[in-house]
Structures are given as C-alpha cells and as structure tokens.
Homo-oligomer: A and B are copies of this chain.
Amino acid sequence: MEAMKISAKTHEESANSSHNGSSSSLKMENGMTHGIYAKMAKEKLNASHLAERINSTERLKKESTEHLSHLEDGPRRSTSEDAELFDTAILKDLEFAKTLNERGEISISPATSEDSLVLRALRRSDYHLEYMELLSQLTVVGAVTQDMFEKRFDSMRRAEGSYYTIVIEEKLPKRRIVGSATLVIEQKFIRATALRGRVEDVVVHRDRRGQDLGKLLMEVATVLSKSLGCYKVSLECKDRLVEFYSQFGYQVDPGNNYMMQRFHE
C-alpha cells in the first residue's frame, strides 16, 4: 500500500466560534479526517469502507511522509523513539454508532490551519512534544524526566492490551500534544472472563479548549472500549463534568459509591 495523507474538507465555522476564521480539520493518523469521521458515524460505516470510498473520489492528495509509514510495516514493537503505545491503526477500525452526540457527529471548531491536528496513539517521543506539560494542566505531575517517562511508557507498552493513550497532536503553529485521554483495560474472571474499561486523565490544552477536542477524545476512548469487547466502561469525574460525560452514554450509577484514600500526593 502506498502511504498517503488525505486532505480534509474544511468544516464550516461554528456559529459560536470566537476563532480567527481560518479553518482546520482533525485527521486521524491513518488518514481518516474528522469530517469523514462524523459522516462515517451517520452512515455507520467503518474506516475500511470509508477508505475505499475516499480512494474512489480522488481525495488522495498528499503523501504521508512521517506518520503513515508504520501502517506498511505493521505495529512497531521496538523501543525506538517513535514507538507507539498501541497501534494507531486500530482506531481506524472503530465502528461509530450510538455513542455519538444527538446530531451523530462531533464538530471541531475552526482553528489555525488545515491539517493542523492529528489523532493517534501516544508515542515514546511525545515527551519532546510537551506531553507532560499538557498533563500538568490536569493534575499534579511533578518532575518527570525523559528517562522516567520512557520507562513508564515501555512498561505500559509491555502490558500489551492494557493502556490506550490517545493523543491529539497539533502540527501548526507548533508541534505539540494538545489533547490526551487514556483508556485502561482491566482483565476480569467474572462475566465470562470479561474486559472492563476505564477512561482516565482526559485533558485538552488550555489554548485548544472550546473546540470539542475533549468530545472527540471521549468518543474515541468510549467507542474503542466497546470495540475491544469491554462489558462496561467507567470513569470518575467532578460534579461539574457529569453533564459533559452524560452525552457519551455515561451515567451516575445510583447507589454505587466511589471511595478512595490517598497515601501521598
């Protein structure tokens, strides 16, 4: 397969956007654009079908240089700098259906430039793309050296099938990670040796808030958990976020309590 990059149809500016009017779209690492992503949801297609359609409509415009080459040689299992925590290709096989919002799509507000955002798996090299700085906008991060980051990354990667950290990379005006959510998979003996998902550490860069990137991350994490066969998926959240998460099908479980204790910060 020839590696390719697919240019995206730009979105109409949303009415309530306060942005500067330049347009962008979010594309998945495998070339699925966000506009297509939304359409796909409506038509209940998966990305494989979609790719065929795209091929037939002459949307093939750019060649991927750095980001799609891994689709040709399979998921990387090395600990090279650009190793992925999981194979981004699985994102393209997701079937989007009922968990999308009422309109059956997620709209991304205009941002700075076409093709400026990419959705993909976390990479070992993302330490250099301000990943920890992004996480520090969520909670206490502390001093995480590159070595610490890489050790943790490698360890999560070895626990194959357990950690799915999905990130949004901003290409312009600056390469950096501007969004992240992690789906953690827990293995069970109950329910016919089921899997169970948890969505953890959802964060969007303060410069990119109000553009529905959080929605996109939540959609992908949730649909991925279903796709992986989880019998349920859960999360913990502050009161003010209950409504936000409700739109993705999450409900407060009446009569069920979340209890915790901290040993240290």
A interface residues with partner B (beta carbon < 8 Å): 131-132, 135, 138-144, 148-149, 151-152, 155-156, 159-160, 162-163, 184, 186-193, 198, 200-201, 222, 225-226, 230-239, 241-242, 245-246, 248-253, 255-265
Contacts and interface: CB of A to CB of B under 8 A. Distances in A.
A112 B170 CA distance: 65
A242 B248 CA distance: 28
Q: Which 10 A-B pairs have the closest CB atoms?
A: A234-B260, A258-B258, A142-B192, A250-B259, A152-B193, A249-B261, A159-B159, A232-B262, A148-B193, A226-B263
Chain A contact residues: over half helix, strand or loop, or mixed?
mixed
Of residues A198, A237, A238, A258, which shows the largest number of chain B Cβ atoms within 10 Å of its Cβ?
Answer: A258
A122 to B, nearest CB: 9
A46 to B, nearest CB: 17
A14 B142 CA distance: 48
A156 to B, nearest CB: 5
Nearest to A235: B259
Given A142-B192, A144-B192, A155-B187, A252 B259 contact: yes
Nearest to A234: B260
Copies of chain A in the complex: 2
Contacts of A200: 186
Given A189-B135, A193-B151, A237 B249 contact: no
A143 B189 CA distance: 11
Contacts of A184: 186
A130 to B, nearest CB: 13
B251 A236 contact: no
Given A140-B190, A231-B265, A252-B257, 15 more contacts: A135-B189, A135-B190, A138-B190, A139-B191, A143-B192, A148-B192, A152-B189, A152-B193, A159-B159, A162-B162, A231-B264, A232-B261, A232-B262, A235-B258, A238-B256
A260 B160 CA distance: 24
Nearest to A186: B184
A256 B135 CA distance: 19
Contacts of A132: 189
Contacts of A186: 184, 198, 200
A58 to B, nearest CB: 37
Contact of A190 (B141, B225, B231, B239): B141
Nearest to A184: B186
Contact of A260 (B135, B239, B251, B255): B251
Contact of A142 (B191, B230, B259): B191
B135 A163 contact: no
